[in-house]
Amino acid sequence: MNEALPFSTPDNGTFRIALYPGTFDPITNGHIDIIKRGLHLFDRIIITVAVNVQKTPLFSLEQRCAMIRECFQGQEDRIEVGATDGLIVEYALQHGARAIIRGLRAISDFDYEFQLALMNRRLEREVETVFLMTGFRWIYISSSGIKNAARCHGNITGLVPKHVERALQEKFA
């Protein structure tokens, strides 16, 4: 599946590229907060829709990528959206990224993220994982929690961008 990314340039030491991988089913305001803050540290972020074999997404890969693209319209010089069903570290190297950004919400995330980071390091030592603390406003949200609320027609305004809110409402109409 490894989509070609027209904007990627190899990391020549002055241009810092990071990957922000996830399932993004769908992207939330918590993810967007991490991406915006990541842009203070990196020149370009490749938001990478990846496969977690334990999840069955509600939205197709194309829908998830399109929703992410809509969030960052006009910022294509710094934000790319890609997808892979392969190893994240391989995708990172192929696109000149030496860092993987992950957001940490609470202690409960730590165990899982620690294992993921160590496994990625075991697979490829050239790629570092960088953790950003999730913004306090978003500490309690997850894609699943938002989907569950939307499924029961709960109010999810302010937790996801408007177009994502509409997509969820259509799914559960």
Q: Which residues are the active-site residues?
A: 31, 55, 105, 143
| Phi and psi, residue 137, nearest 5° | -65, -25
Asked whether position 105 contacts ligand COA by CB under 6 A, the answer is yes
Q: Which is nearer to ligand COA, 78 or 87 (CB)?
A: 87
Q: Which of residues 33-72 bind ligand COA (CB under 6 A)?
A: 34, 50-52, 55
Kindly state the number of chain residues that form the binding site for ligand COA, as judged by CB under 6 A: 25
Phi-psi region at 54: left, alpha or beta (left = phi > 0; alpha = psi -120 to 50): alpha
Among the listed residues 120, 127, 129, 156, the single contact to ligand COA using CB under 6 A = 120
Dihedral of alpha carbons 82, 86, 89, 92, sign: negative
72 or 138, CB closer to ligand COA? 138
End-to-end Cα, the chain, rounded Å: 31
What the block records as the tokens of 141 is 């949200």
Q: Which residue matches tokens 């899982």?
A: 112
DSSP 40: T
Q: Is 103 in the site for ligand COA (CB under 6 A)?
A: yes
Three-state SS sequence of 75-123: CCCCEEEEECCCCHHHHHHHCCCCEEEEEECCHHHHHHHHHHHHHHHHH
Contact between 148 and ligand COA by CB under 6 A: the answer reads: no
Q: Binding residue for ligand COA (CB under 6 A) from 39, 61, 66, 87?
A: 87
Binding of residue 141 to ligand COA (CB under 6 A): yes
Least separation in angstroms between CB 72 and ligand COA: 16
Q: What residues line the site for ligand COA (CB under 6 A)?
A: 21-23, 25, 28, 30-31, 34, 50-52, 55, 87-88, 103, 105, 116, 119-120, 134, 138, 141-144
